[in-house]
Amino acid sequence: MHSLSKRRVKIVCTLGPASSTMAQISGLIEAGLDVARLNFSHGTHEYHAGVIKVIREAAKNAGKHIAIMQDLQGPKLRAGKLGKDGMDLIEGDVLLLYPEGSTPTLSLSGRKAVPISAEIALSISTDVQVGARILFDDGKISTIVKQVKPPEMVVEVDVGGKLTDHKGMNLPGTPLSMACLTEKDLLDLKFGLDHGVDAMALSFVRNVKDIEDIKQRLRAVSNDPPIIVAKIEREEAIDNPDLIIESADALMVARGDMAVEIGAQRVPIVQKQLIHACNELGVPIITATQMLESMISAPTPTRAEASDVANAVFDGTDAVMLSAESASGKYPRVTVETMSRIIVEAERAKETYSKHRDSHPLPGSIVDAIESSAALIARQTGAVAIACLTHSGTAARTLAKHRPDTPIVAIMDNEVTLRRLAFAWGVRGILIPKLVGTDDIFTMVEGVLKTNGWADNDDLIVITAGVPTLRRGTTNMVKVHRIGSTRL
């Protein structure tokens, strides 16, 4: 059988200084990378263009369909420059937050001046109320708002610490009015389109309008835009996720900022809720942040980290993500190999521990009824693979929603669409020449499965397809076929 058929949950790796050469990226692909994430909070366009070129070449050499996800920075709430030594803050200190590059207008008497990013100062000072909380450095430093005079704010420290340059800010409990897409994001978005990225991750999503906005912008300039991954980290999105899930092409549980926004104690529950909601609709979901954090500097994970990855698998996640572990850590390849082993071990035990409930076909959906039936037939007949002939990828994603024990093989003639299936649970892909209506599709399926090592003579396979037209959105057939049988 195919070497990768055992692992169903996909692996997303952030690329960076430790993983940008041909040798490094080829090693990660060999170890199990399915989606390469490029973090546009760092790096120049020239740097990212070089990495994209290397990914495509390494994937071609490996014979794999690797997706590239461009992670847009979004509005960065940050402190400004505070000098080489930073600023020591203690409980009771009063700070004047003002736009970097300007001169404070409020009195500095008895107050410490702390610059914040100029582009966000007016917006957040307009949104924030006296008594609200502003956190710095992933919540390590906590302050309470005492006075607001846009674009300036006076806050009092209630949990101190050392504040250094450009540390992040969070405003838990304060709905923010600023747009998801900044001027930088719009330039990055154009770059992503020009370089053919497969997905764009949208940071700090608040509501469905944010998803609709980026989709509208992309549709205006592209006939086949990248898929949109909504990063769920803001409180507004966590409280009302349903419309976001329906509108986005995929979700990411961005647990870093989420923990600061809602408290670490709520994150495991929210993770399970979001995964379950996505599973119900067949929307791919990525679980991210600090999954194997200790492997940035150590060749083995902690027990807690191994449990974290396994529990995400049991919850029903489609993919798990590495951040600094693969971007800047000492052991990128070892980390991917470790993550892959944890996933496979967890998947072996999924009957006992998995929280994934049986999905039901959506009423009135022919493709959902066909793919649900295919999963059931494959299980009952002991088929070695379910082959989905699909043009848009919808049939394969729908089949993945039903979590069959049998490997899913998407067979299609569009490489771009095939790469986008890298986010979907259990789906592996085979690229074929363009199909025409007169082709004997069953002979073709048998041939590609045998050639790629997915099936041998006398194996049973299940095939789903749209016949006779082979047009987009026409899946209407499920067939059980024995490899090598004379009659097709």
Active site residues: 37, 78, 231, 289
Per the CB < 8 A criterion, the answer to whether 34 and 457 are in contact is no
Give the contacts of 371 (CB within 8 A, at least 6 positions apart): 361, 388, 395, 398, 399, 401, 402, 464, 475
* Cα gap 150→304, rounded to integer Å: 44
Please say whether the beta carbons of 38 and 344 come within 8 A: no
Nearest to 412 by CA among 470, 369, 354, 453: 470
- Could you give the CA distance from residue 200 to residue 205 in angstroms, rounded to a whole number? 13
- Beta-sheet pairing, 169-170 with 133-136: antiparallel
**Three-class SS state of 289:** coil
Q: How far is CA 482 from CA 179, 382, 383, 411, 429, in A?
A: 55, 11, 9, 18, 21
Amino acid found at 169: M
Most distant CA pair in the chain: distance in Å? Answer: 91
Q: How many residues are recorded in the chain? A: 488
DSSP annotation of 328 reads: T
Compute the distance between CA of residue 236 and CA of residue 234 in angstroms, rounded to an integer: 6
